[in-house]
Structure 1
Amino acid sequence: MAETIPASVVAAAARWPDRPAIEEGGAVSSFAALEAARRTAARAFIAAGIDKGDRVAIWAPNMAEWIVAAIGLQSAGAVLVPLNTRFKGREAGQILRASGAKLLVTVRGFLGFDYPAMLAGEDLPDLEGLVILRGDAGTDLAWETFLARGAAVGEAAAAARLAAVGPDDPCDMLFTSGTTGLPKGVVSHHGQTVRTIETWSSVVGLTEWDRFLVVNPFFHSFGYKAGWLACLLKGAACLPEAVFDTTRLLDRIEREKVSVLPGAPTVYQSLLGDGGYRMRDISSLRLAVTGAASVPVDLIRRMISDLKFDVVLTAYGLTEAPVVTMCGVDDDPETIANRCGRPIPGIEVICADAAGAEVPPGTEGEVLVRGYNVMAGYFENEAATREAIDGAGWLHTGDIGVMDERGYLKITDRKKDMFIVGGFNCYPAEIENIILSRRDVAQAAVVGIPDARMGEVAKAILVPAKGAVIEKDEFLAWCRANMANYKAPRQVEILDALPLTASGKVQKFMLR
């Protein structure tokens, strides 16, 4: 097994040179072609002055160039920083500053967005340039021009840079927010990432004959690591999908004989709710992997009976440890829906009390994880790292769970206030910080409320500033304009005061 992500591309090209690696919009790139593209991109990043350890951000939808840019920058020893395509300029600017990104690889025109224009007015002292993958480059550098400049770097120099990248070097930095609302960069190393996703791919049974439709966004570990990287490791064809649309998905499943379709429960609920699957040949579907929210038993049954999946699995992970537990191919629908599986091979998982001691099976406790899948730490934030990973190496997830007698985990609650909207983690403090930038808001609290389609959505509870009048429709429209749509509150309530504890903290359980 290769020990770095770029080395995995080299290995895949040697093992499956002529098999399809990426298929998008009718264009097919073999593993041999992907390896050639990796070398070209690596030379371009080196020519652009990217050194080992530099951070390079990608702000773009699922597309072939995203993968090429990622493996190219990683081949040069740089650290990938994915940006959420739903971010607005303020949110993206915050991540670019926190990571110290030297280069931004992005697009213009996706869903009508001009990402570079969104950054106007943002203070980005470390950012030296923008590269435009698709769309009008304007005064910025077009991807083709960027790649052509790599000709100034010799193949030997690029090979030497690749050889200097080892399993203990950082490969990516995915950002998560928390109780403070400030983003934290989760640093993962090549070796741990490759080993974790190799394990995930083996447990789900991914093969070189699979055709994997990646609708999960590449900026998320579900679309990046348990998506295109899993395809690389097992020789499967990666079919990127930029926009979730049930008709488009059914078109591709039928036309391109998709066999693997992981996603949040909302993906399958939308396909079943649409009803169009009844008129389609979707017999090629064989494997689904879901999670990230509660999964109804009936949904699992219908995925097998109506959508014709042979295997449906659930799993549990988090940005700090992308895969923690997984169900197996022999588990029944009740287990798959009500449990998130057993620890993956080589990983320790316990439920612990407040002192960190393991509690007996059937008893609630905080989920602790130890093993090769755990992050290296938070970027330039030793205090937060020490808070998350204790002296014995246990990652404190903040999730509350129960381990049954069989060793299967069930998540019962979240220690933090995080809620999940359509598979995306939402952190109230982050949303509240954005809302509090409005001068007409004195206090703000955000909670997750049930939603039939998305699982949960945000609701804002506001206390107006003295003398201010907050119009609900205007406020909700402002939220949509100033934060990613999955974060934006769908409801708002205006109160004279928030319920507080004796120490002045908001009692969110009362608001819920």
Structure 2
Amino acid sequence: MFPNVLTTPAALHRAEKEWPDGVAVVDDQWGHRVSLTWPELADQVRRFAAGLISLGVQHGDRVAVWAPNSFHWPVAALGVQYAGAVLIPLNTRYTVSEASDIVDRAGARVVVVSGAFAGINRLAEVLGSSIPQGRTVVSVPLDDAAEADGVLTWDALMATATDELIAQARERADAVAEDDLSDILFTSGTTGAPKGVMAEHRQTIHGSHAWGANGRLSGTDRYLMVNPYFHTFGYKAGILPCLLFGTAMVPLAVYSPSVSMEVVAKERITVFPGAPTIFQTILDDPKRTEHDLSSLRLIVTGATIVPVVLIERLQSDLGVETVVTAYGQTETSGFITTCRPDDDAVTVATTCGRAFDGMEVKLSEQGEVLTRGLMVMRGYLDNPRATAETIDADGWLHTGDIGTLDERGNLTITDRLKDMYICGGFNVYPAEVEQLLSRFPDVTEAAVIGIPDDRLGEVGKAFVTVKPGADVSPDAVIAFAKEHLANFKVPRVVEIIDALPRNASGKILKREMR
């Protein structure tokens, strides 16, 4: 089954006609409750798009969004695309220097940013950086810090939406083609430099539709969104499947077991995707039985190893009918393989399932997982060489992962060709971290690996060598990393050694470190 619309504006038009009374989003955060039907959401999206047009945003321009999960995010994201522009999601854990680099490389004309969140005032950081130079900064009103000199507030932007501009926005929306870019998500590459993954509307919509169809989403579902919207799990496996199937979005900016369970009970949540650690904390919470979680019917997890006992407990202790796992990469909009709702617990826990509809999977002679199909990206932004190295002449995307396929086509990832590890559900690419650590005074070389962690799955451990006679403190190296890297990239352990292990050709042997 394939979607009958292939752009997000077309999907929004369909949603407001198909579910005129259906709830699109419920946001009960920040001290006030917002509930929008699909026509009301569409109206907000059109007004946002009209506001962007008033700022001079043209078809194909880029707009960055740096904000936590709230109803503003889908309005902004869909509004960007409704105006014919390209969405640039920014990780809320980025430092301002990381965000500035991506904003510059993407050529974003507008940056939508929140104020205080998780103890950091992002808006103040942006205003103190080079980001506003030649750009418009739009503030998301999550708190009192949304107003500042040199900032266009959310309400002020929406107020610029005249009837004439809204009519222009509709024209822009109708002109969006399925092969136009929908978004550019940045993911660190093995060279250490972030790479922008360019996805077209049709690639994004095909993936989101396949995900929603596999989960059997419908207009009666209510989806708790703890996965961050800047990530494919929150955006392309969250916002967009809801748009395509009429499912109500319930965003949550900060995860905690107690708050999540309260929301599940209050909002009668039926769909709850997240990393395995989320569900482990809920299952182990001593107050779990005080909350009515009986409405849950679907849990989707993955991004790391999933214990079989976790799948079994979700079904037995929580009474969840369907638990599935999946596998994907940003280069495929997050969609390569998935378990099916009727798979048994062992299959769900020990494999990544079979190829999504519209995708193919095979193994190379070296055992590398290759995939091609409807969800594979257009390529990397301004990097044709990396694109050619990743997608071969026959259209197969080389994932860099090693795996096996069973007789039913279920994929199991056994190793990584790349050194990437997963910390708390986020990919960490050691080369990026190593480059930074090598800039610390008196450090001569650095090598980073992932080591097991009970809470986060894996965390970073850095091995560094220093200049003869130098006095380098591991704590100081970690503090330096915290200044320049998102928290999930910061090594938890730094070990100073005399020399890094190498092979005969001089290549560092990380397997010996492990």
Give the structure-1-normalised TM-score.
0.95
Match of 1:386 in 2: 388
Which of these residues, 395, 419, 422, is aligned with residue 421 of structure 2?
419
CA distance in 1, matches of 2:372, 2:279: 32
Equivalences for 1:41-440 in 2 at 5 Å? 41-119=48-126, 122-124=129-131, 127-134=134-141, 135=143, 136=145, 137-139=147-149, 140-151=151-162, 153-321=164-332, 322-354=334-366, 365-440=367-442
CA distance in 1, matches of 2:415, 2:132: 40
Q: What is the one-letter code of the residue matched to 1:433?
A: Q
Match of 1:358 in 2: none
- Please report how far the alpha carbon of residue 120 of structure 1 lies from its aligned counterpart in structure 2 after TM superposition: 6.2
CA distance in 2, matches of 1:126, 1:386: 34
Which of these residues, 441, 450, 453, is aligned with residue 452 of structure 2?
450
Equivalences for 1:481-492 in 2 at 5 Å? 481-492=483-494
Residue pair 1:89, 1:118 contacting (<8 A) in 2 also:
yes
Q: Which moved more, 1:469-478 or 1:260-269?
A: 469-478
Distance 1:162 1:303, change over 3 A: same
Q: What is the one-letter code of the residue matched to 1:272?
A: L
- Please report how far the alpha carbon of residue 124 of structure 1 lies from its aligned counterpart in structure 2 after TM superposition: 4.7
Which of these residues, 35, 39, 42, is aligned with residue 46 of structure 2?
39
Residue pair 1:185, 1:378 contacting (<8 A) in 2 also:
yes
Which of these residues, 10, 15, 19, is aligned with residue 18 of structure 2?
15
- Please report how far the alpha carbon of residue 161 of structure 1 lies from its aligned counterpart in structure 2 after TM superposition: 1.1
Partner SS, residue 94 of structure 2: coil
Q: What is the one-letter code of the residue matched to 2:219?
A: E
CA distance in 1, matches of 2:363, 2:137: 45
Q: What is the one-letter code of the residue matched to 2:390?
A: A
- Please report how far the alpha carbon of residue 376 of structure 1 lies from its aligned counterpart in structure 2 after TM superposition: 0.7
Match of 1:360 in 2: none
Partner SS, residue 28 of structure 1: strand
CA distance in 1, matches of 2:117, 2:446: 32
Partner SS, residue 486 of structure 1: helix
Q: What is the one-letter code of the residue matched to 1:45?
A: L
Residue pair 2:225, 2:249 contacting (<8 A) in 1 also:
yes
CA distance in 2, matches of 1:476, 1:437: 13
CA distance in 1, matches of 2:135, 2:290: 51
- Please report how far the alpha carbon of residue 121 of structure 1 lies from its aligned counterpart in structure 2 after TM superposition: 6.7
CA distance in 2, matches of 1:152, 1:142: 20
Residue pair 1:54, 1:79 contacting (<8 A) in 2 also:
yes
Residue pair 1:402, 1:412 contacting (<8 A) in 2 also:
yes
Residue pair 2:422, 2:457 contacting (<8 A) in 1 also:
yes
CA distance in 1, matches of 2:106, 2:134: 10
CA distance in 2, matches of 1:150, 1:183: 35
Runs of 5+ unmatched residues, structure 2: none
Partner SS, residue 251 of structure 1: helix
CA distance in 1, matches of 2:5, 2:208: 12
Q: What is the one-letter code of the residue matched to 2:478?
A: L
Matched, 1:460 2:472: no
Partner SS, residue 279 of structure 2: helix
CA distance in 2, matches of 1:55, 1:223: 20
CA distance in 2, matches of 1:76, 1:372: 24
Distance 1:125 1:251, change over 3 A: closer
- Please report how far the alpha carbon of residue 153 of structure 1 lies from its aligned counterpart in structure 2 after TM superposition: 4.4
Residue pair 1:47, 1:153 contacting (<8 A) in 2 also:
no
Alpha-carbon RMSD: 1.5
Q: What is the one-letter code of the residue matched to 2:435?
A: N
- Please report how far the alpha carbon of residue 374 of structure 1 lies from its aligned counterpart in structure 2 after TM superposition: 0.4
Match of 1:511 in 2: 513
Partner SS, residue 274 of structure 1: coil
CA distance in 1, matches of 2:283, 2:9: 38
Residue pair 2:358, 2:375 contacting (<8 A) in 1 also:
no
Runs of 5+ unmatched residues, structure 1: 355-364
Q: What is the one-letter code of the residue matched to 2:266?
A: R
- Please report how far the alpha carbon of residue 427 of structure 1 lies from its aligned counterpart in structure 2 after TM superposition: 0.4
Partner SS, residue 130 of structure 1: strand
Partner SS, residue 320 of structure 1: helix
Q: What is the one-letter code of the residue matched to 1:30?
A: T
Deviations 1:63-105 (A, max 9, x none): 1011101111111111101001011112111211221111110
Residue pair 2:275, 2:425 contacting (<8 A) in 1 also:
yes
Q: What is the one-letter code of the residue matched to 2:274?
A: G
CA distance in 2, matches of 1:154, 1:79: 19
CA distance in 1, matches of 2:197, 2:6: 20
CA distance in 1, matches of 2:489, 2:54: 38
Deviations 1:279-326 (A, max 9, x none): 211111110011111111011111111122110001111100111111
Residue pair 1:450, 1:456 contacting (<8 A) in 2 also:
yes
Q: What is the one-letter code of the residue matched to 1:18?
A: D
The count of corresponding residues between Structure 1 and Structure 2 is: 502
Partner SS, residue 3 of structure 1: coil
CA distance in 1, matches of 2:194, 2:132: 18
- Please report how far the alpha carbon of residue 258 of structure 1 lies from its aligned counterpart in structure 2 after TM superposition: 0.8
Deviations 1:223-258 (A, max 9, x none): 001001111111111000001111110110111111
Distance 1:143 1:219, change over 3 A: same
CA distance in 1, matches of 2:165, 2:473: 61
CA distance in 2, matches of 1:330, 1:350: 23
Give the structure-2-normalised TM-score.
0.95
Q: What is the one-letter code of the residue matched to 1:323?
A: F
CA distance in 2, matches of 1:155, 1:27: 23
Distance 1:411 1:43, change over 3 A: same
Q: What is the one-letter code of the residue matched to 1:345?
A: D
- Please report how far the alpha carbon of residue 501 of structure 1 lies from its aligned counterpart in structure 2 after TM superposition: 2.5
- Please report how far the alpha carbon of residue 407 of structure 1 lies from its aligned counterpart in structure 2 after TM superposition: 0.9
Deviations 1:181-217 (A, max 9, x none): 0011000011121111111111111111011001000
CA distance in 2, matches of 1:227, 1:391: 32
